[in-house]
Chains A and B, each alone.
Chain A
């Protein structure tokens, strides 16, 4: 027992717990990016090189803004700016001018996130805020939906338009299924299977419900998104649109509602943004059901064919209130003065 053991060169002194789960914020963010890959590939498959260009432009806008103005020097590594860029790109039409996509990314990250104090501090989903900005600034460009053409290599619109110039090219455009049904005098109802698989016109990521669903389920299984949110949104949309359809107030069947427009992308990827959604499960249900109701109302009675973006942004603003209203009740809390909650013998 005489031999004194040499201490290790460095002894760490840390507070408990001394072990941590392998989960990390960066890992969550990058697995979201990974799960978006099939959707991105599909959008390029459907819309050709234009899709890739739009995505690259919006991602570039986000990454450059984050690098220049971000709160931490290594904030690109956490992957959140990358997600914002990809999601923003996915809710733009393929023929969108690249400078606008870039500007949308700059606005989304700059004014959607960094001005609030960076990662974790923002109130609104940065990608949706970027899109809302573009919608307000360039209402025509953002609703010019290209159709699929025989030539995969052809650009789908005026991607290379210069800033502040009017569009020159004559792109072949088509209405989205939602717009067609809402505004056309003699609407052609898009078959559900096309909606589900994605061979329709619309923004890049609004096309294939199937792939978004797969990506979302992958994330939910890995615990990287709170499944309560998409499930409550989808259930709510289906229920409310079913109700209004049944009452004869709405031209949209519930199934059509579910698989058209940006609902899938919004429900699985935008509303589930951890920073801008409630922290408790009860809160998530309130959040999701409200989004679903707002989507249905905007789609049926609003001035726009699509309402997912505004529904989510509106509910983002209410998240602090939802959080306050749905605080967990501490273990052994005493209800009123009647004694312990569940003093029962099993």
Chain B
């Protein structure tokens, strides 16, 4: 491995935290393909926005790559079959986000070669720019960094807010996760091809790839493979959570501050994750829509941590089985990273487009500690990357003063979890804020 770069003088943002990285568990393990499971569960809602509209019915024979649900509005996304087989039913099924969601259940054909159905896609360089985002939308591409925002929406910034720089997010600041890292190491040509296509769709020429310096090999690979004809800058970044948050990344790389309540486009920037751009490249290379990705399976509660190419809809139980099962002291299963990921109660939940990691944490990794009174140490204020006062908001949340919290900029909270992470009294601040937001929207709706 290349030596880690010096961190002084590297651009970053103010505040934030340094959780233990724990990336060594999987960062050196090349991605492998997970065997196709017997059954695939594809929720119609795998993205931000309206759920997709199912186009199949029970009994339909479908091939890998076929559209099974179409976008039901502008902010929505297509869903494709990730394996060939027969539609068993469309029913409510446990969803990683918590509630049951309408999902397409597919019996996977055990005899299928699982090759993708050939699909005709126009050459990216020959179609009009607007058609690029149309094709990207039809391929069901959503942001793979975690939020799963439909990509084609981002590609059409408001006319009065022209974008002049594409920020490609390779910072992967969540501990444990190495899927973006592996994507950059294994598929740099796809990352760059995707960047090329996105730049053309936006009609701009400049892109910056931000990578935290705990991935020196990825920085090296991305530098060595950068195409000469593009204005590409590979920017090493300080290792700090949440460096990968859009606003933090833009601040670190360009010094621009996205105004509160505004989108990155308001400062002329657009952020895409490296895995997202790599998936865009595949759309125009082989016609493959977004049906699978590299997912990190890690934590000390799983016997064989690793990076896997997993078709969406694979059930958690199948992933766990392929990774050797749980260890004795496995205690919590998380979809996503340990800072913002979501605990799972069922092994039936399927892997989604935005699932960058599956963590099985051991008892030691996620110790439960008693909650003590706030001692007003101010550590949460020093940690908050958007300069809020979590101490004050936490005190307000505990007495249900949600409107006052809104006045203290609850809406600016990214729920990144820095405040909860540092709190010596273990007060679940970000959880209080997430719940307060729900309460507040109910109050305002009433």
Residues of A within 8 A of B (CB): 1-8, 10-21, 23-28, 71, 78, 118-121, 226, 274-275, 277-281, 323, 327-334, 339-346
Contacts and interface: CB of A to CB of B under 8 A. Distances in A.
Interface string B1-24: 000000000010000010110000
A5 B326 contact: yes
Given A5-B321, A5-B347, A12-B331, A274 B373 contact: no
Contacts of B434: 15
Nearest to B426: A20
Secondary structure call for the A interface: loop
A1 B35 contact: yes
B97 interface: no
Nearest to B387: A328
A16 B267 CA distance: 30
Interface in B350-367: 359, 361, 365-367
B430 A120 contact: no
Interface residues on B, range: 35 or more
B375 interface: yes
A103 B368 CA distance: 38
B16 to A, nearest CB: 11
Given A17-B338, A274-B375, 11 more contacts: A16-B338, A16-B340, A16-B415, A17-B420, A19-B20, A19-B365, A20-B369, A20-B423, A24-B426, A25-B425, A330-B388
B154 to A, nearest CB: 19
Given A6-B326, A18-B338, A345-B255, A332 B260 contact: yes
Contact of B369 (A24, A274, A277, A339): A24
B428 A15 contact: yes
Given A120-B376, A274-B377, A346-B255, A18 B361 contact: yes
Contacts of A275: 375-376
- Most B CB within 10 A of own CB, among A15, A71, A274: A15
Contact of B247 (A2, A226, A279, A331): A331
A11 B314 CA distance: 20
Contacts, number: 206
Interface of B: 11, 17, 19-20, 35, 37-38, 175, 247, 254-262, 266-267, 301, 317-318, 320-322, 325-326, 330-334, 336, 338-345, 347, 359, 361, 365-369, 372-379, 381-382, 384-389, 391-392, 409, 412, 415, 417, 420-426, 428, 430-431, 434
A20 B391 contact: no
Contacts of B417: 16-17
B369 to A, nearest CB: 7
A26 B367 CA distance: 16
